[in-house]
Structure 1
Amino acid sequence: MSNSATDHATIPQTLWAARGRHSGPAAEDVVRRTLRRHRESGDIDDFAEPPVADDSTEQVFEARWRAGGTVTVRARLTLVPHRTRPQEREWTLVAEAERPWDEAWPSPATLFWPEAGPADGADGAWDHHPTVAGLRLRQVNALPEDDKEMRRRLRDAARQAWCVNLVVHEAMTPDEHGRLPLARLLPAGLRHRVVEHRAAPQQLRAVNWALKALGVEVPRGGAVLLPPDPAPDGFDAREHSVRSVFLDGSEPAELVAALRHFAALPRPLPHGAGEALTDLRENWTLLTLQEELERERHRVAMFTEALEAMTKSRDLYREAAEEAHRALAAYRDTPAAAALPRRPELFGTRTPSPLQQLTRTFERLKFSTKGSRPVSSADGTSDGGATDTTDPA
């Protein structure tokens, strides 16, 4: 596990983040069509496709809108080819608002991707789990019949902290309404970050055996949230467990409360989320005129500060050079006999010779710009004055 500072940071309350995989062809065309449609309808203010390096396989899209009509949201979607299936695209979506995220706001996922259902062809194939095969974000995911496979799936899903994993046990075989995903009943801001695992009535013992390693248990006919890896501070399995979930199409109020409580915890940033958030903040290109003006003012201030520092450094070098020239001229004008060494004990005081003055000048030139103190000469005298000596005789 990484020990970088990014991994220990917590998710800002202003951030909405999700990951997934588009299994159909031409994912970038799907995103472009969706963004154009939302811009024409006024759902978003504008979008852009920033350029990337020539050797990069990434494709980046930016969009901005006003949640609730007043709160500016900036979002960035990154597409990269799947490791083993290059025709598919893995996507990372981060959106940051000017104030803490409200789960009632529209899901950023549906502003970049179409709201078509999973069965609606390639356009609706964007909701696959990014790492665990067979899982979808917008439909019921029945747990495997094999106990070991069930344990493996739940363990692998819980490790992926980008998603919130919900395990629901069916107390009895549900009707047509009960077989629909609970995600459709969740607030829009939670809808596309929840993976719903469904255990059949006869799987209660097996699913709790599988969940034992994660330290949680699902009640009969209830639900439980799986702790991510690493678990957030303050995570209590009992607070994130719901005793009864009615699969009759009614709003699961207790479950929604548990999900909101979980989303509000100071959870660690998932792997890769810190980098995605940094890209959003530092490489953002979809600026308003006011933002462009502020950025240029900031650049002018930086250049002015750098120019002042360079000018000050130049002046220091010039003063030191002039002093060196004066010392060198004095040395050249001194008779040769004056440069002969004299024993310090024969004189009460001693004036530094022009050679020593020249040497000290070059020492100051060397260290003045580094902030170091002047270096003493070899005979123990400091820069800037003579040393009194007493004749031992």
Structure 2
Amino acid sequence: MAKSPTVRATAPDSVWLARGRFVGPGAEEVVRRRLREQKNDRVIQDHLELDDTRDSAGRRVFEARWQVSGAVTVRARLAVEAVQGSTDEWTWSLAAEAERPWDLEMPSPAAVFWPEDTDVPWDHDLVPGLRLRTINPLPGEDKELRRLLNTAAHNTWSIHVVVHEAMTTDERGRRPLARLMPPSLRHRIVEHRAAPDQFQIVNWALRDLGVQVPRGGAVVLPGTPPRPGYEDDDFTVRSVFLDGSVPTDLIDTVTRYAALPRPLVEDAATAVSDLREQWHLLTVEEELAHARALVATYAEALDAMTKSRDLYREAAELAHEALAALQESGAGVPVVGKPRRPEGLPFRGLAKTLERLKDTAGSLRLPGAGAASPGTRTEERDVRADDVPCS
């Protein structure tokens, strides 16, 4: 029998997630400088840096808090870690959560921690060779193209969009489409470009993923595992005009895809739980509420321990009283209830065996032995007494 697929938890609708690589030295200092600038410009309310003590490699964690729409608080947590064996490559994961369902028109949390300057290399995807915020031409070699698309669909947190150019584009058509997306999508999209003569080979490579790109159009890759609802809708765009105009159909399609429930892979689930359970950047009011909650928890625990102690003491006193009354009465240990008769075949078999042993013992006699008279018994006792030596 085939096993049913594993049902994964999905990301809360209030959470924003992204992950990538920083290629170059000084990733931590770039984040520190950016957060100081954001605090000075009053873009964020506050920020904090701390060690992740659970990781011997020494991950650095940065927390920031800001408000959107005047009163909606956003909390975000960025973890930066050096790639093992390298001092010029870092991986980062970013989780943010708002006090209401996330609106794609909210500012991108990535822009809070990382500078918008395109020269700062923080925007590399987890898949080597791919970057956010720019165009990624597909490789010219067939097998390499197929490998890249399959790897991108299985090993990334980003949204991958494959665009086929119907004809060779000019300067206007070589502008990244991510910049036209809603703010919260701009740093989560990897745009792949297929040249006009790659139409057949790119669809040959996409066949493994169960999708196709129209000529001169685009398709959003399903990801792994596919988002619930992806199979029930069409996430292809028939035509994308690469002439500098706003690709409304493509934006709507990517936005619909981003709104689908997002299955949480292991690392993403950890990022969400760390954001919620390992948060340190508290306001004075939050610290006071946290202290009150701790006091209430300790009070409940102490009350439970006190009740348990009192019940134990009461039971011990009753037991001592019962034991004293029993000793004063001089009675033996009382038997609670009537003894039960043996039930079932094993007990009846044991009773029959005991009866047979009783009959056998009664029939055994020494050879020549008869019923002894009272005199004989007295003599035997006398003889036994004479045989005892005097002291």
Task: Using structure 1 for the length normalisation, give the TM-score.
Answer: 0.81
The structure 1 residue matched to 2:317, chosen from 322, 331, 352, is: 322
Question: Take 1:51 and 1:378, find their aligned partners in 2: how far apart are those partners?
Answer: 69
Distance 1:136 1:308, change over 3 A: same
Give runs of aligned pairs for residues 164-183 of structure 1, distance below 5 A.
164-183=159-178
- Range with bigger deviation, 176-185 or 217-226: 176-185
5+ residue gaps, structure 1, are: 340-351, 357-375, 381-393
SS in structure 1 at match of 2:129: coil
The CA deviation at 1:292 is: 1.4
Which amino acid in 2 is paired with 1:206? I
The CA deviation at 1:4 is: 11
2:202 counterpart of 1:207: yes
User: What residue number does 2:215 align with?
Assistant: 220
Equivalent pair of 2:51/2:58 in contact (CA under 8 Å):
no
User: What residue number does 2:20 align with?
Assistant: 20
Question: Take 2:5 and 2:203, find their aligned partners in 1: how far apart are those partners?
Answer: 34
Which amino acid in 1 is paired with 2:196? P
Identity %: 54
Equivalent pair of 2:220/2:236 in contact (CA under 8 Å):
yes
SS in structure 1 at match of 2:312: helix
Question: Take 1:4 and 1:57, find their aligned partners in 2: how far apart are those partners?
Answer: 36
Distance 1:313 1:246, change over 3 A: same
Question: Take 1:23 and 1:179, find their aligned partners in 2: how far apart are those partners?
Answer: 24
RMSD: 2.1
User: What residue number does 2:362 align with?
Assistant: none
The structure 2 residue matched to 1:125, chosen from 121, 144, 164, is: 121
- Write the deviation string for residues 116-151 of structure 1: whole angstroms up to 9, x where unpaired: 10xx2xxx1111111x11100111111011111101
5+ residue gaps, structure 2, are: 341-391
User: What residue number does 1:344 align with?
Assistant: none
Give runs of aligned pairs for residues 1-393 of structure 1, distance below 5 A.
8-53=8-53, 55-117=56-118, 120=119, 124-130=120-126, 132-236=127-231, 239-335=234-330, 338-339=331-332, 353=334
Equivalent pair of 1:161/1:270 in contact (CA under 8 Å):
no
Which amino acid in 1 is paired with 2:32? R
Distance 1:201 1:309, change over 3 A: same
- Write the deviation string for residues 205-258 of structure 1: whole angstroms up to 9, x where unpaired: 110110011111111111110001111222148621111111122211111100
Task: Using structure 2 for the length normalisation, give the TM-score.
Answer: 0.81
Which amino acid in 1 is paired with 2:81? V
Equivalent pair of 2:219/2:236 in contact (CA under 8 Å):
yes
Equivalent pair of 2:125/2:156 in contact (CA under 8 Å):
no
Question: Take 1:228 and 1:377, find their aligned partners in 2: how far apart are those partners?
Answer: 70
Question: Take 1:255 and 1:4, find their aligned partners in 2: how far apart are those partners?
Answer: 31
- Write the deviation string for residues 69-103 of structure 1: whole angstroms up to 9, x where unpaired: 22110000011221453542100000001111111
Question: Take 2:214 and 2:319, find their aligned partners in 1: how far apart are those partners?
Answer: 86
Equivalent pair of 1:216/1:237 in contact (CA under 8 Å):
no
